[in-house]
Structure 1
Amino acid sequence: MADQTSTMPTAPTPIPVCKGEGYEHWSIRMKTILKSRDLWDLVEQGVNNAEPDEIKLKNVKKRDAHAMAIIQQAVHDHLFSRIAAAESSKESWDILKMEYQGDTQVKAIKLQGLRREFENLSMKDNETVGEYFSRVIGNVSQKRAYGEIISNQTIVEKILRSLSPKFDHIVPSIEVSFDLSKLTPVRLMSSLQS
């Protein structure tokens, strides 16, 4: 049977709109959308205006304008004025990034707060495994958005240490049954749910 997935039409990915809150999640979604359209490298590195091939430079600038149009669509009207004067997708992205993530010092402060929150996370008695995982992974996603490198093992160990007491009899069997250095959070969640 021939592969029909390449000929099947797909609906365009909806563009998430940033209203000023939830920048970390918005930026992750936007990176994925821009990567899927082969535009992220332009946003991240900018246009090389020293390109000697005029046709190639014109095509790159056209792709950059496409990336900038996507970014402009992805901000609420009250934020648009902040990037309206930007002349490239990189400039637009960097303006938003600076405003919502800040410079190195601001990032360090935000990361410190997220690390403290991560350390203090623990599963509530009335919370489901899925709800607790969502809280942990939400924190991890924010830290990763600020450049923090967090291994799966760190996440797995944190979750095992901070489960509610009703899981006290299950944790040792998971620690014996799995190599924690290779266990993914998704696999751990499925083990705990079953």
Structure 2
Amino acid sequence: MGIVEEGVTLPEDSSTSSSAEKGKLENKKAKDSEALYYIQTAVADHIFPRISVATSAKEAWSILQKEYQGSAKVRIIKLQTLRRDFENMKMKDSETIDEYYTKVRELVNQLKAMGRIYQKKGS
């Protein structure tokens, strides 16, 4: 797991930490600050105010996940809907292969964005 998922845990009493432990902690804090910077600079200007109050990369990432993926229940419903759409997808007589392929690709990308990855049968 990375710094964004784990976050940085500060020890309750840093006076008993060795210099090596303090060095590791400083390194983690630097990586966290760098990750927070990358997240803040990667989002669109209208999204930035939502994460500007975050003091860690983990906090900013959690805000974005909640906002764009919703709660666990909402994600499950979205996944079920996307899966049903995928299973019921059929090519229309008026569609070209390219148009149908684009629709399938968009749906697969939405599933991937939700954290669901499908493999070919027999793989």
TM class by smaller structure: 0.7 to 0.9
Q: CA deviation at 1:120?
A: 2.3
Q: 1:45 to 1:132 in 2, by over 3 A?
A: farther
Q: 2:57 is matched with which residue?
A: 89
So what's the TM-score if we normalise by structure 1? 0.53
Structure 2 unmatched ranges of 5 or more: none
The Cα offsets for residues 104-148 of structure 1, whole Å up to 9 and x where unpaired, read as: 1111121122122112222244322x5433322332232233233
Q: Please show how residues 2-41 of structure 1 align to structure 2 within 5 Å.
A: 41=2
Q: Which residue of 2 aligns with 1:105?
A: 73
Number of residues paired by the alignment? 115
Does residue 127 in structure 1 map to residue 96 in structure 2?
A: yes
CA RMSD of aligned residues (A): 2.1
**Is 1:117 aligned to residue 117 of structure 2?**
no
Q: What fraction of aligned residue pairs are identical, expressed as a percent?
A: 45
- Matched with 1:176 is none
30, 40, 45: which is aligned to 1:72? 40
* Residue in 2 that maps onto 1:43: 4
Structure 1: unaligned runs, 5 residues or longer:
1-39, 154-180, 183-194
- Give the residue type in structure 2 aligned to 1:87: T
Higher relative CO (Cα under 8 Å, sequence separation at least 6) belongs to 2
**Aligned AA for 1:64?**
D
| TM-score after normalising by structure 2 | 0.79
> The residue matched to 2:46 in structure 1 has which SS?
helix
Partner of 1:192: none
